[in-house]
Amino acid sequence: MATEQPAEPTEEQLEVLEHNFCKVDKHPDATTLCLIAAETGLSEEQTRKWFKQRLSEWRKSEGLPSESGSVRD
C-alpha cells in the first residue's frame, strides 16, 4: 500500500519552499523542482503544485494577472 503524503506542508517544508521561491527562483526548472522535493520530503507533483499556487498568489499581490505568461510572451 502506498503511503499518503500530508495535504499541507509542515512549517519546516514551508520554510524551504518559501526560501527557494523568494531567494532562488520563482520558476524552477524540473531539476531544481526535483531537488527541492527531495529536500522537503514532498513529491515532485506536490512541489510543482505549491510553486504554481504560490506564483499565482505572488502575481496577484503584484497586481499582475494570476495566470499570465512572462513579460516576453
Q: Where do the structural domains in the chain lie, given as residue ranges?
A: 11-62
- Angstrom distance (rounded) from CA 38 to CA 73: 32
The one-letter amino acid at 64: L
Domain 11-62 grouped into CATH 3.40.47.10: no
Give whole-number Cα distances, 43 to 5, 40, 47, 54, 60, in Å: 8, 9, 6, 16, 26
Q: What is the model's pTM?
A: 0.76
Res. 29 pLDDT band, cuts 50 70 90? very high
pLDDT tens per residue across span 3-27: 555 568 899 999 999 999 999 889 9
Say if residue 67's pLDDT is above 80. Answer: no
